[in-house]
């Protein structure tokens, strides 16, 4: 029998129209979207269903929207197909903001608290660095040690040391870097000079997962102190350690650290396979994480679920 890990996508997976068919087909999805709308005092679901894309992509909207989408899929699985994480998952994990989705799915956070936390997180991350001063770039066809070497060299600029570091080790030769715009530009040039297959700037509004996000980390420390945090029904594989965590205080500490630390996704997938996971099930928008899982753990099965048809297929497959 397959051993399942439920995984939850991060920023960049959002797309206009996500959740619309799910809400039309299933009451549990509608209930999730209505609760998040009410908590945030915003018709976030309308923005998800109808756009515009530029507004949905704003960090303060994309983060709670992606979480709402993931939890809507999960509630449909629970109530329509009888598939519960407590019974069917060995572990959960999520990429960056997806860690909050994973924790909401595992009962650590109430849905309303997860929505509020992600709105605070999105706002704080956006405000941490003035527009235009920070940047992120994807390096493709490079391994972690080579990317770290590129960042070390790029950090030394004509005016002294600048911030640039690995933000996401996504696996499959994909590493994302983050820092000041000038240092990221230098890193791209260095990478091209070293024969890196592709090095391109990402269309993001702030330099996530680097030291420049320190003010946002403090904002999350304060926000997390004000919510109930329960032990998850199954262990979380934490972004910052790529290791199991179940203690609520430890989870909070790692969520604060996560804002400035790299997402160790490649190692997280490796940890899950070492724990015996043979099937990765991505819940929510897009198929980014299931695609990465296939590249990192080619012997494991990887599925994604975000539409009524995919939900029906998953219910047959897992049920």
pLDDT digits (tens, 9 = 90+) for 107-142: 999 999 999 999 999 999 999 999 889 999 999 999
Q: Classify the phi-psi angles of 21: left when phi > 0, otherwise alpha if psi is within -120 to 50, otherwise beta.
A: alpha
Q: Is residue 263 within 8 Å of residue 96, measured between CB atoms?
A: yes
CA dihedral 265, 270, 272, 277 (to 10 degrees): 130
> What distance in Å separates the CA atoms of residue 159 and residue 5, rounded to the nearest whole number?
46
> What distance in Å separates the CA atoms of residue 319 and residue 313, rounded to the nearest whole number?
10
96: pLDDT strictly greater than 80: yes
Instruction: Pull the structure tokens for residue 165.
Output: 């570091």
Distance set, CA 291 to CA 23, 170, 171, 281, 288 (Å): 25, 11, 10, 11, 5
Name which of 252, 242, 304, 232 is nearest 275 in CA terms.
242
Kindly list the domain boundaries of the chain, sorted by start residue. 4-128+212-318, 134-205
Instruction: Indicate the range of 39-48, 51-60, 232-241 predicted with least confidence.
Output: 51-60
Q: Which CATH superfamily is domain 134-205 in?
A: Malonyl-CoA ACP transacylase, ACP-binding (3.30.70.250)
Contacts of 272 (CB under 8 A, 6+ apart): 5, 90, 91, 93, 237, 280, 297
98: pLDDT strictly greater than 90: yes
13: pLDDT strictly greater than 80: yes
Instruction: Indicate the range of 159-168, 183-192, 199-208, 242-251 predicted with least confidence.
Output: 199-208
CA 188 to chain centroid: 24
Per-residue pLDDT of 185-239, as tens digits, reads 999 999 999 999 899 999 888 999 999 999 999 999 999 999 999 999 999 999 9
Question: What pLDDT sits at residue 136?
Answer: 96
> What distance in Å separates the CA atoms of residue 214 and residue 158, rounded to the nearest whole number?
24
Question: What pLDDT sits at residue 270?
Answer: 97
Model confidence at 4, in pLDDT bands (50, 70, 90)? very high
- With pLDDT > 90 as the criterion, what percentage of the chain qualifies? 94
Beta-carbon count within 10 A of 73 CB = 31
Question: What pLDDT sits at residue 203?
Answer: 84
Q: According to CATH, what is the number of the domain 4-128+212-318?
A: 3.40.366.10
Q: Is residue 293 within 8 Å of residue 9, measured between CB atoms?
A: no
Catalytic residues, which ones? 96, 209
> What distance in Å separates the CA atoms of residue 71 and residue 5, rounded to the nearest whole number?
15
CA angle 114, 120, 122 (to 5 degrees): 100
Question: What pLDDT sits at residue 317?
Answer: 84
Model confidence at 1, in pLDDT bands (50, 70, 90)? confident
Q: Is residue 71 within 8 Å of residue 111, measured between CB atoms?
A: yes
Q: What would the mean pLDDT of 149-171 be, rounded to a whole number?
A: 96
Question: What pLDDT sits at residue 319?
Answer: 66
Question: What pLDDT sits at residue 205?
Answer: 82
306: pLDDT strictly greater than 80: yes
Classify strands 134-140 and 174-180 as parallel, antiparallel or unpaired: antiparallel
């Amino acid at each position: 029998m397959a051993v399942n890990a439920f995984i939850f996508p991060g920023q960049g997976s959002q797309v206009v129209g996500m959740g619309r068919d799910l809400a039309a087909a299933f009451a549990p999805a509608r209930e999730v979207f209505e609760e998040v709308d009410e908590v945030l005092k915003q018709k976030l679901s309308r923005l998800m269903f109808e756009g515009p894309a530029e507004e949905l992509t704003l960090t303060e909207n994309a983060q709670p929207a992606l979480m709402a989408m993931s939890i809507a899929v999960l509630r449909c699985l629970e109530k329509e197909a009888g598939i519960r994480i407590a019974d069917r998952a060995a572990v959960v994990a999520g990429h960056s903001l997806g860690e909050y989705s994973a924790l909401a799915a595992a009962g650590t956070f109430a849905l309303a608290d997860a929505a509020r936390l992600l709105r605070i997180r999105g706002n704080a991350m956006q405000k941490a660095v003035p527009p235009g001063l920070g940047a992120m770039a994807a390096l493709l066809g490079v391994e972690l040690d080579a990317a770290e070497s590129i960042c070390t060299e790029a950090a030394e600029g004509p005016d002294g040391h600048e911030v640039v570091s690995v933000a996401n080790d996504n696996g499959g030769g994909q590493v994302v870097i983050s820092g000041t715009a000038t240092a990221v530009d230098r890193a791209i040039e260095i990478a091209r000079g070293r024969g890196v297959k592709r090095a391109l700037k990402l269309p993001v509004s702030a330099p996530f997962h680097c030291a420049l996000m320190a003010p946002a980390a403090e904002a999350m420390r304060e926000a997390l102190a004000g919510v109930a945090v329960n032990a998850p029904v199954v262990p979380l594989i934490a972004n910052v350690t790529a290791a199991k965590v179940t203690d609520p205080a430890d989870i909070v500490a790692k969520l604060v650290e996560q804002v400035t630390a790299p997402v160790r996704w490649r190692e997280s997938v490796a940890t899950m396979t070492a724990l015996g996971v043979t099937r990765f099930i991505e819940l929510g928008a897009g198929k980014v994480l299931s695609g990465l899982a296939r590249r990192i753990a080619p012997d494991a099965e990887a599925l994604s679920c975000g539409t009524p048809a995919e939900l029906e297929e998953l219910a047959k497959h897992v049920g």
